[in-house]
Structure 1
Amino acid sequence: MTPFLLSLFVTLGAAPAVRSLLLRGGILDVPNHRSSHVLPTPRGGGLACLLGVVVALASAQALGVRVPWLAAVAAIALGAIGFADDRAGLSPVVRLSGQVAGGLLMGVAAGGGWLLVAGAVITPVVVNIVNFMDGINGITSLSVGVWGATAWLLGVSVGAEPLWVLGAATAGAALGFLPWNAPTARLFLGDVGSYLFGGLVAAGIVVGLETEASPLVLTAPLALYLADTGTVLVRRAARAAPLMEAHCEHAYQRLTSVVRLPHIAVALLVAGMASVVTAAWALLAWEAALLVTAVVCIAFVLSPSVGRGRATDKTPALRTTR
């Protein structure tokens, strides 16, 4: 419990100072035609989360908990790459190279061998999915919070200290940032935050492969992220659209822009559905869990089309707060 609480309160307490520094440095997310927000907002709030995670892990180490420092440092380094991208922009090759290198370090932390390949593949996928999905208020904090709680409980249940401490620190930082991002955003995570959280999730999955923790339960909280991102990439590839170009085609984006649901309602929907999928993999036979996952993911991906009837031409456009 101590790593979770420290991560939560340090993140929550550091956020005002981080916001002030970002404002003074002019590090702002300025809205454009693809944005889900309407006001310039400081980008880089993930620095507060990074501080919360470091303090939490250091305290756990002091209390005698076995902390997977190499994997954690890899995730923190990914956060630093994200911050460099927030400030100056990095080429896709540099970003991908950093993600693969971070994954290799996680593989080393987990024991080497085939886990090196697992880390090099899992890390870029998870980091980019979290980055792609970080587009509305609260979605990353709530969804990563679900993953953190899952890793925490799963790690405790199988006696895997490195897994549960990563989960507890991640959940604390994610939920500590939430009041600054939702329902009204005073801070955005920025790439520093999405890369950090993506790195921590990847680190937990890779480190978890060395334990008795079920990898299916550990990845289940990402099911909706994978479904949403995967369907968008397939649709864009089918019409030869650039896969890495910014867009507003995700189901969660269309739920806010077309169906006109509030950001926090969509973020809660995603986190709630992810929790259902995770519970299914934890409690049911794999056949039933797979059926639940398919039904939930399909329902979410199709939800903007089903809900479009609620929005008519006479309905005023929702002014989002992100």
Structure 2
Amino acid sequence: MILVLLVVLLLSGALPGLLRPLLLRRGVIDVPNARSSHARPAVRGMGLAPWAAVVVGMVLALLTGAVRVDRGVTVIVLLVTCAAAVLGWVEDVRGVSVRARATTQLVIGLAGTTALALALGQSGWWIPAGALAIAAYINVANFMDGINGISGLHGVTVGLFYALAGQLSGQGWLTVSALVLAAAFAAFLPWNLAGGRGSGPVFLGDVGSYLLGGSIAAMAAAGFLAGVYVEYLLSPLVIYLADTAFTWFRRVRAGARWYAPHREHVYQRLTDAGLSHLGSAAVVTGCTVAVGLLGTVAAQGTLATSISATLAGAVVVVGYLASPAVARRLRRRATDGSRR
């Protein structure tokens, strides 16, 4: 397994340097719009690097025996991940209509969940829910990919939590798949966090965010059907889900077109309040770690412990949603104090 992870780290860390000039020549450029948190065009589509690393890593894990049980489940998770990444790449290069994109995401979710239900001997009643969940989280990961570092940190964080869930649940395929995902996004982080320096920023693009959302959703669906505690699977995703749902609610309530580009997510409003990209991504990641740990405690503890951990997790979520207002207030106080 160590060899597999080293290969993944090497590929995901080295490929961006080779891909950047190729993507520049193809004109795969991210032009700032109403949703953007950057001010100048940048190369996108660099999610090809972690995608290649994930594919090679999972194939190596299967060939070397790192995954010995539920190998079919591992293959299905990888196929769902690749299907999502392909859709993202088409979006990066040519663009896809909202209807075609949503339809394709649902087809990916439907095919993936059906295959998982058959492989794990589960009822077909779960298939519609799984299809919707996979399609939804692909979009959630895409919506949340708006500042440097946030998606890379999310991939690392969720990957490590899912690897722990696999260990605690006796699901070796989940541990291996999650570690490969975490390694791939960890190696890409330096490229993304160095955005704006040297040769300029590079972004995952839709291929990278769809890769992230598809892989996490596929692992979560497979883990749920395999009997992994839902707390293990859901808690590391709560902050992303809460941010997306809260932002959607605010926009609908204000009468805005919820599907139009915008920069009203909590993490984006944190940057508007004065935090750097890394600072905002760190807030998201810190809250994700806190809720993930509390979810793990809730799954393993007594009833009283579980209730306490769940309530504490809810407090973290509320605190995160309120963090832009807190950051603005602190900034005003600091500004007022410096004028005196």
How high is the TM-score relative to the length of structure 2? 0.88
Structure 1 counterpart of 2:191, which letter? W
5+ residue gaps in structure 2? 119-123, 299-304, 336-340
Closer, same or farther: CA 42–160 of 1 in aligned 2, 3 Å: same
Asked if residue 139 in structure 1 is aligned to residue 150 in structure 2, the reply is yes
Runs of 4+ off more than 6 Å: none
Distance 1:183 1:289 in 2: 36
Write the mapping of 1:1-322 to structure 2, written as runs, cut at 5 A. Answer: 1-2=1-2, 3-64=4-65, 65-66=67-68, 67=71, 68-112=74-118, 113-184=124-195, 186-257=201-272, 259-284=273-298, 285-311=305-331
Q: What residue in structure 1 maps to residue 302 of structure 2? A: none
**Contact 1:75–1:102 at 8 Å: present in 2 too?**
no
1:44 Cα deviation (Å)?
0.4
Q: CA deviation digits over 1:235-283, x for unaligned, max 9?
A: 11112211111111111101111x2111111111211111111111112
Between 192-201 and 221-230, the greater mean CA deviation after superposition:
221-230
Whole-angstrom distance in 1 between the partners of 2:114 and 2:185: 26
Q: Structure 1: which 5+ runs fail to align?
A: 316-322
Matched pairs, number: 314
Can you list the C-alpha shifts for 1:273-320, whole angstroms capped at 9, x where unaligned? 1111111111243312221221111111111111113445997xxxxx
Encode CA deviations 1:133-182: one digit per residue, 9 max, x unaligned: 00000001101211111111211222212212221111111111101101
- Any conservation in 1 of the 2:274–2:331 contact (CA below 8 Å)? yes
Q: Is the 8 A contact 1:15 1:180 kept in 2?
A: yes
> 187-196 vs 109-118, which deviates more?
109-118
For the pair shown, which has the larger CA radius of gyration, 1 or 2? 2
| Other structure's SS at 1:72 match | helix
Higher relative contact order (CA closer than 8 Å, sequence separation 6+): 1
What is the RMSD computed on CA atoms of the aligned residues?
1.8
* 2:166–2:172 contact (8 Å) kept in structure 1: yes
Instruction: Measure the CA separation in 2 of the matches of 1:286 and 1:122.
Output: 25
Q: Distance in 2 between matches of 1:34 and 1:189?
A: 16
TM-score by length of 1: 0.92
Q: Distance in 2 between matches of 1:32 and 1:263?
A: 17
Q: 1:6–1:172: 8 Å Cα contact kept in structure 2?
A: no
Q: Return closer, same or farther for 1:159/1:73 CA change in 2, 3 Å cut-off.
A: same
Aligned with 1:135: secondary structure? coil
Name the CA distance, whole Å, in 2 between partners of 1:5 and 1:291.
39
The answer for the alignment partner of 1:320 in structure 2 is: none
Q: Identify which range, 110-119 or 98-107, moves more after superposition.
A: 110-119
CA distance in 2 between partners of 1:282 and 1:5 (Å): 28
Output the amino acid matched with 1:77.
A
Corresponding letter in the other structure for 2:207: V
For residues 114-146 of structure 1, the C-alpha deviation after alignment (integer angstroms, 9 at most, x for no partner) is 332232111111111111000000001101211
Is the CA contact (8 Å cut-off) linking 2:155 and 2:182 kept in structure 1?
A: yes
Cα distance in 1, alignment partners of residues 97 and 309 from structure 2: 39
Percent identity over paired residues:
38
Amino acid at match of 2:146: G
Cα distance, 1:85 vs structure 2 = 0.7
- Tell me how far apart the structure 1 counterparts of residues 115 and 167 of structure 2 sit (CA, whole Å): 19
Matching residue's letter, 1:282: T
Q: Does the residue aligned with 1:184 lie in a helix, a strand or coil? A: coil
Greater Cα offset, 285-294 or 148-157? 285-294
Name the CA shift for 1:33/1:115 in 2 (closer, same or farther; >3 Å): closer
